[in-house]
Amino acid sequence: MLFVELLKAVILGIIEGITEWLPISSTGHMILVEEFIKFNVSDEFMKMFRVVIQLGAILAVVLLYFNKLNPFSPRKSRKEKKETMEIWFKVIVGIIPAGIFGVLFDDWLDEHFYNYVVVSITLILYGALFIIIENKNRNKRSKINDFGELSYVTAFKIGLFQTLSLIPGTSRSGATILGGIILGGSRPIAAEYSFFMSIPIMFGASFIKLIKFGFDFTGAEVAILLTGMIVAFVVSVIAIRFLMRYIRNNDFKAFGWYRIILGILVLAYFFIRG
């Protein structure tokens, strides 16, 4: 039985590793997949698992961008260390809105909006926005092409966009990338800033979920959680590298169409199921 539960954790780890970074909503995929894959664990454990599995994905960002995000690297000059610290300051400014709204409303929003109707609508809505905005910006040159050009005011505004991701189905990466592009950021900068903001946000969210759940894990629960996290980490490394290569020469419209199709499929599935 434990082998079957671990296999389920592997599947969810793969889904998490892909959907956490591509702007296609991990929540939308989880709602659909959990219709077919049921863990033999408590509801409390599953609520914690959905969040803490993301730590594996976050560690992939830490690995891939360790040098860029490390202000204490002996290989960096004083100027480079200062620039690295400024990236972190901008990340902190960016996560303030979501941090405040998350503490105040996250549980309430999950309770009232964590359902297939809301997720389907947000999948379709933001998918359409990606297509519209990319078409509108087709011939525009980006104003922000490196983190030195990203002001603290713009960082805060992107953080406001991130608060939209508190509504299930929006996609945290999708909201921040969309906000970054609207505010003049290049696709690579918008994507990387989204990655970096996820580090403190998801560490904080995971810590809160672990505290709420408590640390009284069974051996099977530890194995399931670690398996999901490890798989999410490995798949995330691949997904992040793919996304950064892809957006150098492509826009986000393909993800927009994917979101629209997925949203329609989710609506259709639950409507037919009754």
The pTM assigned to this predicted structure is 0.91
Which pLDDT does position 110 carry in this prediction? 78
pLDDT digits (tens, 9 = 90+) for 39-91: 888 888 998 998 899 999 999 999 999 999 999 999 999 999 999 999 999 99
Q: pLDDT category, 168, cuts 50, 70, 90?
A: confident
The answer to whether 172 touches 16, Cβ cutoff 8 Å, is no
Q: Which residues pair with 1 in a beta bridge?
A: none
CA 177/CA 22 separation, integer angstroms: 10
Q: What residue numbers bound the domain in which 264 lies? A: 2-273
Phi, psi of 251 (to 5 degrees): -95, -170
- Asked if the model's pLDDT at residue 106 lies above 80, the reply is no
How many distinct structural domains can be found in the chain? 1
Residue 209 CB contacts under 8 Å (≥ 6 apart), including other chains: 47, 48, 51, 52
Q: What integer pLDDT is reported at residue 104 of this predicted model?
A: 87
Backbone angles phi, psi at 185, to 5 degrees: -80, 150
| C-alpha distance from residue 265 to each of 33, 123, 166 (Å) | 12, 11, 22
